[in-house]
Structure 1
């Protein structure tokens, strides 16, 4: 790992804090901020407050967990270890399971080309095409199938499974997707063939000059063919072309991190996700149990 300079970590922290704020209400609880969506979209998480100098305490975590349950939200916490190194032990002492993931940044001199990794075409999803609704549905269906069989191992799930996973999109979801793509806050891509359709997909979230690649997923039947790397490269290239200075992501495992290294990413830190440990009861009663955070999805298949 190449340790990131403090200035880079500070930019990443600012990005992570900014991502939810245009669609979520920020509630401060001691040293933590809980982001609560104002719409029915995928729920957010709690993370250390950027302006506080007080360390996060076990009491802060317990308070937020009670609040999350009262709102019917998953009990999820995220942070960068290098920014809050004490939080890992505090979270574990509070009964949470901490899952570290390599935090990786694209080398600033690299502008990757997707054709280096796969001959399957990768294209941008744009709202000004007649197939926009189909493309959004396909991207989400590929992600749903891919993340239900996480990792990089090949499997049987393919186009038929993807098509069965397609769900009808409401107008608000489509309008949000179109608006974010149009103003540059989101980039979405599909890797597809004329016969099989979408085989892999991914997206990037951008705030200012910093962006995170997330949700890169490949149908199990198409894995080990370079599609995950090609999708990542296409997203990174589009971000570079748009003037993005810092392009980051987090990998779900060492095996997945190797995919990203092929594209030009290097590890600069550790992203942490904490959820209730399965063997431990949640404090209090009722409400939702923890599940995967909305924002940071590791790659599902290469």
Structure 2
């Protein structure tokens, strides 16, 4: 699965508004933000970069005033991590990823045995309220903004999907998004529930709804990363299973 996930990472970055390809690497930039979590690179599977290749990659970031940063499945390109470490890159994190297939997907239920209503946004104000809810859910890790709402809309209109559960006051209680499929798989991300609505099965509901949507569109699998054992249990309940690891590295200074 590592090669499939890495091929997806390459294809997904090539969808960015600005793409730079250097020897063995694809870099995706979004001029609407300087966030290192959106502007990053990934290697092509099997890449064996030289010191010069890594230097060219670093310059692609430095020339734009951005931090050099990569996300990738290390087992799909074993020579990349040593080359990056030699150039001074350090590890930010190592995340296990989980994969769901049509055969493992399980519909969730609330404690009362009912299914939550999961909706797709249509109007711009819905994208804005989902963006605001996710910003609250992630404790200000990123701020709500018109650019964030616009990225959600591009995901929905570009072949991916955005789903949310409405709060009693008409706002967004929680939501998530899934990229458009590539090479048979797609990434589900940004699963977040506002603190006041946690423990009600919202994360499970939107995760299962997104996976089902992508399977209906022909995807063979959906993968995601989890942030803790609590979220892992949520994802496993709806059919996600451990499949590999992803590495996050960056260059300071």
Q: Smaller-chain TM-score range? A: 0.7 to 0.9
Provide closer, same or farther for how the CA distance between residues 117 and 69 of structure 1 changes in structure 2, counting only shifts above 3 A. farther
Q: Does residue 121 in structure 1 map to residue 112 in structure 2?
A: no
Tell me which residue corresponds to 2:232.
257
For 1:257 and 1:200, locate their aligned partners in 2 and report how far apart those are by CA, in whole Å. 17
Q: Is the CA contact 1:112–1:234 (under 8 Å) kept in the aligned structure 2?
A: no
Q: Is the CA contact 1:33–1:49 (under 8 Å) kept in the aligned structure 2?
A: yes
For 2:26 and 2:149, locate their aligned partners in 1 and report how far apart those are by CA, in whole Å. 25
Q: CA RMSD in A?
A: 3.0
Provide closer, same or farther for how the CA distance between residues 12 and 81 of structure 1 changes in structure 2, counting only shifts above 3 A. same
- Number of aligned residue pairs: give it: 246
Tell me which residue corresponds to 2:126.
135
Tell me which residue corresponds to 1:162.
none
TM normalised by structure 1 equals 0.69
Provide closer, same or farther for how the CA distance between residues 213 and 122 of structure 1 changes in structure 2, counting only shifts above 3 A. farther
Q: Does residue 106 in structure 1 map to residue 80 in structure 2?
A: no
Q: Does residue 11 in structure 1 map to residue 25 in structure 2?
A: no
Q: Is the CA contact 2:44–2:77 (under 8 Å) kept in the aligned structure 1?
A: no
Compare relative contact order (CA 8 Å, sep 6+) and give the higher one, 1 or 2: 1
For 1:24 and 1:200, locate their aligned partners in 2 and report how far apart those are by CA, in whole Å. 27
2:28 to 35, 44, 47: 35
Q: Which segment drifts farther, 108-117 or 265-274?
A: 108-117
Structure 2 spans left out of the alignment, 5+ residues: none
For 1:18 and 1:238, locate their aligned partners in 2 and report how far apart those are by CA, in whole Å. 20
Q: Is the CA contact 2:91–2:247 (under 8 Å) kept in the aligned structure 1?
A: no
Q: Is the CA contact 2:188–2:223 (under 8 Å) kept in the aligned structure 1?
A: yes
Q: Which segment drifts farther, 197-206 or 249-258?
A: 249-258
CA shift for structure 1 position 238 = 1.8
CA shift for structure 1 position 106 = 0.4
CA shift for structure 1 position 179 = 5.9
Tell me which residue corresponds to 1:97.
91
Tell me which residue corresponds to 2:75.
82
Structure 1 spans left out of the alignment, 5+ residues: 1-7, 151-164, 283-302
Q: Is the CA contact 2:19–2:29 (under 8 Å) kept in the aligned structure 1?
A: yes
Tell me which residue corresponds to 1:194.
168
Provide closer, same or farther for how the CA distance between residues 188 and 117 of structure 1 changes in structure 2, counting only shifts above 3 A. farther
Q: Does residue 148 in structure 1 map to residue 118 in structure 2?
A: no
